[in-house]
Amino acid sequence: MNIHQKLKSINLQRYPFLLSLFIMIGLITINALLQDSFFYTGVLSSTFRSFLPLILVAVGQAFIILGSDIDLSIGSIISLTNVSIVQMIGIFGQTPSGVVLAMFLGLLIATAAGFINGVLISYFRLTPIITTFATGTVFAGFALWVMPSPGGEVPRFYYEIYSGGIVGLPMVLWIIGALFLIHGLFIRKTKFYRYLFATGGDKEAAFQSGVPVQRIRVLTYTLGGLFAGLATLCIIGETASGDPLMGPSYTLNSISAVVLGGTALAGGIGGIIGSVFGAIIMETVNNVIFFARVPIVVQTLLQGIIVIVALAIGGLSTKRGTKNAN
């Protein structure tokens, strides 16, 4: 069997993340060639710290899209959680206990926001794209009410822990490794994961087969909110302050990352791991353009073209995988 036949034999329906993995490796290689210090421990740690928020948001968005839904409010949830945590640290004090309490309540706010989305869409049968656009506007309004302009601060130990390491490895690599481990050992083996794909493939058929479709949809949006909250903790670790306009860019970027990772927007095809690769691709594209010294006036244009091409390739591969499966 020649190489072409071997490549054709790879089932992208079963391994939808393979193409994104190859693209990611290629882009990282180009990045390393352009940036001599890329693989230095400090540089690698700093690079992936900046990648981690989008990775986490993409994972949360992936759960939602796999169920054939979408969340346009996820960026606003980040903004609301960001300013809420920073303000609560100011209220509770910059002690370890005060910071932990603020972090916990911030995660609770993000998770509750996702839960509200899920209930509105699942039990009130509202259209996901319109509903989350509307709730996103509400969450963004609350964020501006809590903190009208950027400000606040967090204690030094917060971002020192986030930028630090354990047993010689950067904290960010431990977090990404934990994501892969939790997904491989637990999430993939749950009924929820099987029900999620069934719901995304055909909601009506899944419901008739006894799948609790409404609860699955609520849970996916709740997870989306939770992961948005976790991403916010990382953002605060990088910025050490609050910003009510921090989140909106993560909404469309997270959707793009999910699709780049091999997940179909129609739902039922793809996976969580591919979304991690897709997020890394999105961020690495920016790095490559920067270190290639592309003129600033065309950077945004080039970023858009590269992402469109990558999305088109991923979309065609997903479509081909679906045809092969049928």
User: For residue range 151-161, what is the model confidence (pLDDT) as tens digits?
Assistant: 999 999 998 88
* pLDDT tens digits for range 30-55: 999 999 899 888 888 899 999 999 99
pLDDT given at position 318: 58
* pLDDT tens digits for range 89-139: 999 999 999 999 999 999 999 999 999 999 999 999 999 999 999 999 999
44 vs 303, more confident? 44
pLDDT at 315 over 90: no
The tokens describing 109, both together, are: 């706010």
pLDDT at 1 over 50: no
* DSSP per-residue letters across 9-48: HS-TTT-TTHHHHHHHHHHHHHHHHH-TTTTSHHHHHHHH
Candidates 305, 323, 310, 287; CA nearest to 47 is: 287
Mean pLDDT of 275-304: 88
Percent of the chain exceeding pLDDT 70 equals 90
Q: Give phi and psi for 76, each to the nearest 5.
A: -70, -35
Q: What pLDDT band is residue 5 in, cutting at 50, 70 and 90?
A: very low
pTM of the model: 0.91
167 vs 14, more confident? 167
Handedness of CA 297, 300, 305, 309 (dihedral sign): positive
What is the Cα–Cα distance from 318 to 267, expressed in whole angstroms? 11
pLDDT given at position 122: 96
pLDDT at 75 over 80: yes
pLDDT at 231 over 90: yes
Q: Are 85 and 243 in contact (CB under 8 A)?
A: no
pLDDT given at position 314: 59
- Domain topology for 13-30+49-320: ABC transporter involved in vitamin B12 uptake, BtuC (1.10.3470)
Q: What pLDDT band is residue 209 in, cutting at 50, 70 and 90?
A: very high
Mean residue pLDDT across the chain: 88
